[in-house]
Structure 1
Amino acid sequence: MSLPTELLSVEEMYLADRLAIDGGVAGSMLMETAGEGIAIQIQRKWPPGRALVLCGPGNNGGDGYVVARRLQEAGWQIDLASISDPELLKGDAALMRDQWNGPILSLARAEVADIDLVVDAVFGAGFSRYLESDLASFFARIKRELIPVVAVDMPSGVNGDTGAVDAGAIPAAMTVSFFRAKPGHFLYPGRAYCGELKIIDIGIDADYLEEIDPETHLNDPELWRDDLPSLGPEIQKYSRGHAAVVGGGIASTGAARLAARASLRAGAGATTVVSPPSALQTYAAALEAVMVIALSEGQAFEDWLRDKRIGTVLVGPGNGVTERTRKFTSIALESPANVILDADGLTVFRDDPDTLFSLIAEKEHGEVVITPHEAEFERIFSLAGSKLDRARTAASLSGAVVLLKGADTVIATPDGKAVINYNAPPYLATAGSGDVLAGLITGFFSGGMSAFSAASAAAWIHGEAGSMVGPGLIAEDIETVVPSILRKLLDSHKKA
């Protein structure tokens, strides 16, 4: 079963709890259901043995007391330790402490010898400071013994909003969270600490999501499948859009070729590579369905965009940090076309990002997507914070949809909407992979999708293609599996 797409910040999850309680669900029932659900997940994966349950000073610790009781009832031998004075617990957590009928050890008295499983119920998703040295040392002992850990809500030391990780944090074999996942479950480095992620129902009505109105989602086809380009019986190639890919010189033609082919696969009716005259023969010899034109001067490029009614322009892959690249980027942004800026199309503005932002702000027609990796992003924005926060801020500053690449690619809009892409395998870390991604965005854009949907669809399909090809993948392989992925998506849409 796929995960729900909504991702809740820590504050949004607190709101979900409050709405449920205001709606008549007792807080103690939410805690009891959470602990019971965690115990069920544990029993599905591990046979009964001896577990050490570590409880913290808040509601996360309260969940731990329930887990301990439920596992004990199921035949597990339980050691329970609190990192703080358990008498200081309040509210529902204190109630669950009182229902535990075994001893409560201090951290100093807890042992890891002969322990088969550790339940980490110390700190939840709201953790934002640092782990005390005694707890970090205890976690280090667990790591040395290679004892599997089940984390309640979030591994202790991992921030639920940002994915930031304290140096003393302990990786989990499984993390069990409630109602909806948090951004920190999917943003690195936190994602690497969560292990197998389980999201369980604890009695919070999904209708409350309408009031919460989360702005962050997991990138999933249900968000954009309805927007995929569809073909009617009377459609012809130019009604699917004519896209332009600005190509670089003779020494770096591969990037534009990869992007151009991918744009056709993703739905552009026609794609033309705009080549420097010196590289025209190289492009022409290597491309079949993709057309080629030689243009070196800005005015000729501007006239051609207008005369051919080019609807989408990609600038950057293999272009070089040159005056031609800067000029063609400016012309594209001043045209009515949708524009994707990647690689050198961004880097040419590294010393003058305000000019780039002004060009985007002054654009009267069409949308803009920028697709930096972390180094390119730093050259333009120099922002601090989590990847999610930085992408959102960059989108607001630039006026463009920002696709910040990586294993946890974030796509954000200027109005704050964002998705985290989580299906990309490490096989995609290969030369030319990003050029194909830019080409996929171009094709979906050309086919009529919005900037945000085109970028989201391209990132997901790019990741799916990487998984399909698997080990040995090279960039040229990605576009070859795109048709089968699109067929599955469109067929599932018809069945729905």
Structure 2
Amino acid sequence: MGLSLEGHKVISAKEMKRVEKLSIDEGACDETYMLKAGEGIAARVEAFIKENRLEKTVTLLVGKGNNGGDAFVAGTFLLNRGYQVEAYHMVSTKESSPLCQKQEKAFLSAGGEVKRGKDLSFKGVILDGLLGTGFQGKLEDKMAEVVQKANRSKLPILAIDIPSGVDGNTGDMDPIAIEAKETIFLGLPKLGFFLKEGYNAIGKLRGVDFGMDVRFIHEAKAVAHLLNEKMVPELLPPIIRNRHKYQAGYVIALAGSPGMPGAAMLSCLAALRTGAGIVRLFHPKGMEGELTTSPYELIRTSYEWGDTSQIFEEAKRASVALMGPGMGKLEEMHAFIQKVVRGLEIPCVIDADALFHL
């Protein structure tokens, strides 16, 4: 059973852990969660195999924690559906979490095979249950070797909750991390999916409901929300037919630098395309000739390095500011950008080179 991504909260891995613990403290059962998660993961693996017309063969990569337990549960469900499933377990049974130990036993009872040590081979679809969203830093050598072999096998890899080797909070990634075809996340998508190298590692996102009461999902503190193009119009104010240009929004953009007019032009065109009534580009003196092809609708105002007086005066009438695209990374820009950011009293979208100076 998949979850639609539209409108989903995006939360940190730490926040997911907090609300899960809160639900367990209030009477939920972590084993019930694991069984429900494993069932959903198995269903997604089965769907992936059918969609891609693959053989009914799965290799589990199992760590010592509850992600490993989820993998064993999924493997048991798949065995019961006629799949050939074998597991490679990174540690001995006694080194695993109690729930992982229990699910390994159930997997073996269902006819599964568990391998350890250097007896490592891959068949069919690989299901990554090595590490969870709490991973930080670098993979241990033995783990890195397994991950590298999995990636080099060129077999499709589906990751449970997050590709092993990716930090669920920051998106930081070990240089050798699982390269997933799909990530089957549990509950809510994690911030690390969308940051830094993590975004390249996750493949397609597929959500699985593991049975947490919806009130705990509402309790979770979001750091962002997932949107699509169909949802955005609902978030915008209605268009009034007899509106004047200031009612449609006045955007001031600080963008561009000599030799880099493109980013300034594109960002201002984007602002015009959204329906802004006025877009004014503040650009450094000396690049007027590079902006001769700018649209007629765009107002251009040049400024001297370090002089913020015009910008702050115009900001009194503006609705929103944009700062950064194509401004460059010259040292003299640092104090200027800092001064503008601190002095603006309207919402400001800070992007590109402006982020470098903050």
TM-score per shorter chain, which class? 0.7 to 0.9
| Cα distance, 1:20–1:193 mapped onto 2, change above 3 Å | same
The Cα shift of 1:207 comes to 2.0
Q: Distance in 2 between matches of 1:42 and 1:80?
A: 15
Q: Distance in 2 between matches of 1:143 and 1:283?
A: 47
The Cα shift of 1:216 comes to 3.3
- For 1:22-421, list aligned pairs within 5 A: 22-46=25-49, 47-100=54-107, 101=109, 102-112=112-122, 115-220=123-228, 225-243=233-251, 258-271=266-279, 287-290=295-298, 324-327=304-307, 329-333=308-312, 335-336=315-316, 337=318, 338-343=320-325, 347=329, 350-351=331-332, 353=334, 356-363=337-344, 365-373=345-353, 377-378=355-356, 380-381=357-358
Query: 1, 8, 13: which one pairs with 1:10?
Result: 13
The Cα shift of 1:252 comes to 7.0
Instruction: Name the SS for the 2:306 alignment partner.
Output: helix
2:312 maps to amino acid: L
TM normalised by structure 2 equals 0.81
Tell whether the 8 Å contact from 1:341 to 1:371 is kept in structure 2 after alignment: yes
The Cα shift of 1:64 comes to 1.4
The Cα shift of 1:354 comes to 5.2
Q: Distance in 1 between matches of 2:7 and 2:272?
A: 32
Tell whether the 8 Å contact from 2:172 to 2:192 is kept in structure 1 after alignment: yes
**In the alignment, what sits opposite 1:312?**
none
Instruction: Name the SS for the 1:326 alignment partner.
Output: coil
Instruction: Name the SS for the 1:151 alignment partner.
Output: strand
Instruction: Name the SS for the 2:69 alignment partner.
Output: helix
The Cα shift of 1:110 comes to 3.0
| Cα distance, 1:43–1:171 mapped onto 2, change above 3 Å | same
1:17 maps to amino acid: E
The root-mean-square deviation of aligned C-alpha atoms, in Å, is: 3.4
The Cα shift of 1:234 comes to 3.2
Q: Distance in 2 between matches of 1:17 and 1:53?
A: 25
Q: Distance in 2 between matches of 1:254 and 1:150?
A: 39
Which structure shows the bigger proportion of residues in helix conformation? 1
The Cα shift of 1:258 comes to 4.6
1:75 maps to amino acid: G
Instruction: Name the SS for the 2:27 alignment partner.
Output: coil
Deviations 1:47-69 (A, max 9, x none): 45332212111111111110111
Task: List alignment gaps of at least 5 residues for structure 1.
Answer: 297-322, 382-496
Deviations 1:222-254 (A, max 9, x none): 986455243224322343345556797998766
Tell whether the 8 Å contact from 1:5 to 1:220 is kept in structure 2 after alignment: no
Tell whether the 8 Å contact from 1:8 to 1:181 is kept in structure 2 after alignment: yes
Deviations 1:440-494 (A, max 9, x none): xxxxxxxxxxxxxxxxxxxxxxxxxxxxxxxxxxxxxxxxxxxxxxxxxxxxxxx
1:340 maps to amino acid: L
The Cα shift of 1:32 comes to 0.5
TM normalised by structure 1 equals 0.61
Instruction: Name the SS for the 2:346 alignment partner.
Output: coil
Give the paired residue count.
345
1:331 maps to amino acid: Q
